[in-house]
């Protein structure tokens, strides 16, 4: 006989674990299925930068979703740390988004025209930047100074969400889901390599491995892969007191464990034919990325010439064709919810995704919450072939 759950979540990345955590908090019996290990997908590789600046969020509901998730973190981190005893290395600090070239200044200022209505920020000159951090390159033009943004260790977040869900009664089951069970138009459970599980609702949170489920759903689940690499450095100078990023050179963050994170590579770093190198390449660090990231970091912070490499991380982001997450019910099917395609923002948006999916399931999957509307899978109805090339090349992290 099949094991039975209220909800089965497929995939124990930050998104799936957030969904499981918020469901378990509501007393819903949840089974979290993972084919490898917790955080073995994209989530472990992420910088864990929780920032509202950049090009990922557009004005309106998308930005509001990011803002709501940002505001969820302080209490969530506190809850998870006290429930699990883990230190998530969560820091809230001012941030600088640097312009080293005219095109970067133009982009930053254009975004500021609407972002500054929601986030406390101001443009500051190169002199003011150097008062804050004198070690930054003399050749920068200026920066937007944001009063506060945040960063944490994404693997620890991932693990603490899974542990937090377990402590609230959720079960983590290490099995690969090979298909969906259905009766008519209703999904009734999942097939795994070692037995079936039945449930009221299946949540597919399998990141870039979500597309195989489109066969059983009879509906497109368009998620591609966008490779990203970053470096952890040992730098003996004082840690940076601000979180730094720039449109063309990525981030530079002194983590609370003492290491400096720099990177990441993204769409801008690939030629058309390099974007998709297959699953085997997803987690393989490349020398090209290491050299490129290091050079960019030194361009921004010349003293990093003296830093040494501790670790090179390589993973792939679950890329959606419009770079917007895919969250919500599947047209024509009952008993199934997608929570995937978070592209460059799955760590940032994990908690709010967990909350909104839980709200939908708690309401008997009858009413789509307003916050879910911009992300509904229905926008891909009839999609034949997704254009991941354009989507990937447009990513500017
Ligand atoms: C270099 C880099 C830097 C990044 N920086 C940031 C950042 O600073 N901020 C941010 O918000 N985001 C960042 N991201 C993006 C972020 O990592 C992703 O958006 C996020 O991790 C996606 O989470 P997920 O849970 O959807 O997917 P994943 O973490 O990939 O989890 C999916 C899980 O599903 C499992 N799975 C798949 N198929 C099955 C199956 N059939 N059965 C059972 N289990 C299955 C996988 O094994 C995996 O564990 C970065 C990504 C990279 C690569």
Residue found under tokens 């930068």? 49
pLDDT at 27: 98
For residue 124 the two structure tokens come to 């500051």
Own/partner pairs for 273-281, CB < 8 Å, 24+ apart?
275/226, 275/227, 275/388, 275/389, 275/392, 275/393, 276/224, 276/225, 276/388, 277/227, 279/225, 281/227
Residue 84 has pLDDT above 80, yes or no: yes
62-67 average pLDDT score: 93
Is 10 a domain residue?
Answer: yes
On whether both 231 and 269 belong to a single domain, the answer is: yes
Query: Per the domain annotation, does 60 fall within a domain?
Result: no
The tens digit of pLDDT for each residue in 226-252 reads 999 999 999 999 999 999 999 989 999
Q: Which residues, at least 6 apart from 326, have a Cβ–Cβ distance to it below 8 Å?
A: 221, 222, 223, 320, 338, 339, 340, 341, 375, 377, 380
| Nearest alpha carbon, ligand 1 atom 3 | 46
d(CA 235, CA 250): 18
* Residue 109 shares a structural domain with residue 208: no
- Measured from the CA of 39, which atom of ligand 1 is nearest? 49
In terms of domains, do 251 and 309 share one? yes
Residue 189 lies in a domain: yes
Percent of the chain with pLDDT over 70: 95
Q: Whose CA is nearest to atom 19 of ligand 1?
A: 346
Residue 267 has pLDDT above 90, yes or no: no
User: Looking at the structure, do residues 140 and 169 belong to the same domain, yes or no?
Assistant: no
Q: Is the peptide bond before 264 cis (omega within 30 degrees of 0)?
A: yes
Q: Whose CA is nearest to atom 2 of ligand 1?
A: 46
Of 290, 317, 344, which residue is a domain's last? 317
Residues 6+ apart with CB under 8 A from 64: 371
Q: Which atom of ligand 1 is nearest to the CA of 18?
A: 25
Boundary (domain end) residue, out of 298, 317, 336: 317
Ligand 1 atom having least distance to the Cα of 316: 53
Task: Judge if 100 and 141 occupy the same domain.
Answer: yes
Q: In this structure, are residues 365 and 337 in contact, taking their beta carbons and an 8 Å threshold?
A: yes
CA distance 320 to 103: 26
State mean pLDDT over 315-334.
96
Determine, yes or no, domain membership for 55. no
Which single residue is written with the structure tokens 């497109």? 220
Say if 170 falls within a structural domain: yes
Ligand 1: residue whose CA is nearest its atom 16: 346
Are 51 and 345 contacting, i.e. CB atoms less than 8 angstroms apart?
A: no
Confirm whether 331 is domain-assigned. Answer: yes
Give the pair of three-digit tokens for residue 123.
């443009």
Determine the distance separating the centroid of ligand 1 and the alpha carbon of 346, expressed in angstroms.
7
Where residue 274 falls among pLDDT bands split at 50, 70, 90? low
Angle CA(136)–CA(303)–CA(125) in degrees, nearest 5? 5
- Give pLDDT, residue 3: 83
What is the pLDDT averaged over residues 176-180? 98
Task: Compare 355 and 282 and report the one with higher pLDDT.
Answer: 355
Residue from 12, 31, 46 to probe ligand 1 pocket by mutation (most atoms less than 8 Å from CB): 46
Q: Tell me, yes or no, whether 145 and 244 share the same domain.
A: yes
143-175 pLDDT per residue, tens: 999 999 999 999 999 999 999 999 999 999 999
Question: Among residues 271, 289, 317, which one ends one of the domains?
Answer: 317
Q: Is residue 253 domain-shared with residue 292, that is, in the same domain? A: yes
Do 379 and 338 belong together in one domain? yes
One domain for residues 232 and 135: yes
Asked, for residue 53, whether it belongs to a domain, the answer is no
Higher pLDDT, 283 or 213: 213
User: What is the number of domains present in the chain?
Assistant: 2
Pocket of ligand 1 (CB under 6 A): 10-16, 33-36, 40-43, 45-49, 176-177, 205-207, 209, 228-230, 264, 315-318, 340, 342-348
- Mean pLDDT, the chain, rounded, equals 94
Ligand 1 centroid to 207 CA: how many Å? 5
pLDDT grade, residue 269 (50/70/90)?
confident
Work out the pLDDT band at 279, boundaries 50, 70, 90.
Answer: low
CATH of the domain at 188: 3.50.50.60
Atom 18 (ligand 1): residue with closest C-alpha?
Answer: 346
* Number of neighbouring beta carbons within 10 Å of residue 367: 10
Domain contains 199:
yes
* Ligand 1 center–CA 39 separation, angstroms: 7
Looking at residue 379, its pLDDT comes to 98
Tens of pLDDT, residues 356-389: 999 999 999 999 999 999 999 999 999 989 988 8
Do 173 and 274 belong to one domain? no
pLDDT interval class at 1 (50, 70, 90): very low
**How many Å apart are CA 325 and CA 332, to the nearest integer?**
20
Atom of ligand 1 nearest to the CA of 347: 11
Q: Which domain holds residue 246?
A: 91-149+227-317
pLDDT at residue 280 is higher than 60: no
User: Do 303 and 362 share a structural domain?
Assistant: no
Indicate whether 138 and 246 sit together in one domain. yes
Judged on CB neighbours under 10 Å (0-12, 13-18, 19+), 69 is: buried
Give pLDDT tens digits for 112-127: 999 999 999 999 999 9
């Amino acid at each position: 006989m099949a094991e039975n759950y209220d909800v089965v979540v497929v995939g124990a990345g930050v998104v799936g674990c957030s969904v499981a955590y918020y469901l378990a908090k509501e007393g819903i019996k949840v089974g979290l299925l993972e084919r490898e290990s917790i955080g073995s997908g994209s989530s472990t590789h992420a910088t864990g930068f929780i920032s509202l600046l950049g090009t990922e969020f557009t004005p309106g509901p998308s930005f509001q979703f990011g803002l709501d998730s940002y505001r969820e973190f302080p209490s969530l981190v506190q809850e998870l740390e006290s429930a699990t005893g883990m230190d998530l290395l969560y820091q809230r600090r001012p941030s600088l988004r640097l312009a080293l070239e005219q095109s970067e200044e133009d982009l930053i200022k254009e975004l500021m025209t609407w972002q500054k209505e929601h986030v406390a920020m101001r443009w500051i000159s190169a002199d003011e930047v150097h008062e804050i951090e004198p070690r930054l390159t003399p050749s920068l033009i200026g920066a937007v100074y944001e009063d506060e943004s945040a960063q944490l260790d994404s693997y620890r977040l991932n693990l603490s969400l899974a542990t937090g869900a377990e402590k609230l009664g959720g079960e983590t089951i290490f099995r690969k889901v090979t298909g969906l069970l259905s009766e008519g138009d209703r999904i009734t459970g999942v097939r795994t390599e070692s037995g079936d599980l039945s449930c009221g609702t299946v949540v597919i949170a399998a990141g870039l491995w979500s597309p195989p489920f489109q066969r059983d759903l009879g509906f497109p689940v368009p998620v591609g892969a966008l490779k990203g690499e970053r470096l952890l450095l040992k730098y003996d100078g004082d840690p940076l007191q601000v979180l730094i990023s720039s449109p063309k050179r990525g981030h530079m963050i002194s983590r609370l464990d003492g290491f400096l994170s720099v990177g990441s590579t993204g769409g801008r770093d690939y030629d058309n034919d390099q974007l998709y190198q297959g699953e085997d390449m997803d987690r393989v660090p490349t020398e090209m990325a290491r050299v490129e990231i290091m050079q960019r970091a030194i361009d921004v912070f010349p003293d990093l010439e003296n830093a040494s490499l501790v670790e090179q991380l390589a993973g792939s982001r679950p890329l959606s064709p419009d770079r917007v997450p895919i969250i919500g019910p599947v047209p024509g099917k009952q008993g199934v919810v997608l929570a995937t395609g978070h592209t460059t923002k799955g760590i940032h948006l994990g908690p709010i995704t967990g909350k909104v999916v839980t709200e939908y399931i708690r309401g008997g999957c009858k009413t789509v919450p307003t916050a879910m509307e911009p992300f509904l899978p229905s926008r891909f109805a009839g999609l034949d072939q997704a254009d991941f090339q354009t989507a990937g090349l447009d990513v500017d992290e």
